[in-house]
Amino acid sequence: MTEAAAELPQAPEEARAVFGEYFPEAVRYAELLADAGVKRGLIGPREVPRLWERHLLNCAVLSEVVPEGVTVCDVGSGAGLPGIPLALVRPDLKITLLEPLLRRTNFLQEVVELLGLDHVTVVRGRAEEMLGKVQPVHVVTARAVAPLDRLAGWGVPLLRPYGEMLALKGDTAEEELLGARSALSKLGVVNTSVLHVGEGIVDPLSTVVRVEVGESPGGVRFAAKRAKAARTSRTRRRR
Ligand SMILES: C[S@@+](CC[C@H](N)C(=O)[O-])C[C@H]1O[C@@H](n2cnc3c(N)ncnc32)[C@H](O)[C@@H]1O
């Protein structure tokens, strides 16, 4: 065991309640993060003493706002946050962990296999290069990937019509939302809100920015692409 792994505290009582029958898998995941995760530079050693509260539980409570039985893409999953805790509490979801770095996708694949998470798939790639390569999803999740306007530019085009992006954010959530307003409306976003989840489980509560799209996720950019494709095919037909 590494020095960092020895710092992993016992799981708090809340974790038993939140992870239920998957509590042993959650403990295994915490151990993997604290050991291999730190050794391979996927998580800082200083995070180990607060892995439960700040990472596993903080992410698992996102489940409160994810609809039942939907498809989810966790953009920039890193070492599996929030995707893995969400998968542990929600076997009804079909989750794709999207991550560009090989070192991280290798770790994610190992975790998925070790924990027997048959409803989770690991895909290596950058979100903005995934259009047409992954099936559009009902929900995009993300934590600590990019400022909201950039994140929305990557995540919203991956959504199905009437889908939503749920971004775990810190204290700057309202501010980021305000600053991203124009970018969001160009992407076809029809509704935004800031939610606080995890009452009785995490303190402070986890802050989630919810961004909902209408019929046309990707908005203007998609519309422009479609118009260009139509023009090209008309030109080809005329030749
Ligand atoms: C700070 S880490 C956060 C990881 C994890 N979400 C967490 O909360 O611990 C940011 C992650 O986003 C990934 N990332 C950066 N740009 C990306 C992009 N364009 N598409 C998908 N993932 C990206 C990085 O490789 C990295 O794993």
For 7-45, write each residue's pLDDT tens digit: 898 999 999 999 999 999 999 999 999 999 999 999 999
The ipTM assigned to this model is 0.99
79-121 per-position pLDDT tens digit: 999 999 999 999 999 999 999 999 999 999 999 999 999 999 9
- At 238, the pLDDT band (50, 70, 90 cuts) reads low
User: What was the pLDDT predicted at 2?
Assistant: 74
Ligand 1 within 6 A of CB of 75? yes
Domain boundaries, the chain: 5-238
Ligand 1 within 6 A of CB of 154? yes
DSSP readout, the chain? --TTGGGPPPPPHHHHHHHGGGHHHHHHHHHHIIIIIHHTTSS-GGGGGGIIIIIIIHHHGGGGGSPTT-EEEEET-TTTTTHHHHHHH-TTSEEEEEES-HHHHHHHHHHHHHHT-TTEEEEES-GGG-TTTS--EEEEEEESSS-HHHHHHHHGGGEEEEEEEEEEE-TTHHHHHHHTHHHHHHTTEEEEEEEEE-TTTSSSPEEEEEEEE-S-TTHHHHHHHHHHHHHHHHHHHH-
| Binding site as annotated, residues for S-adenosyl-L-methionine | 76, 81, 127-128, 143
Superfamily for the 5-238 domain: Vaccinia Virus protein VP39 (3.40.50.150)
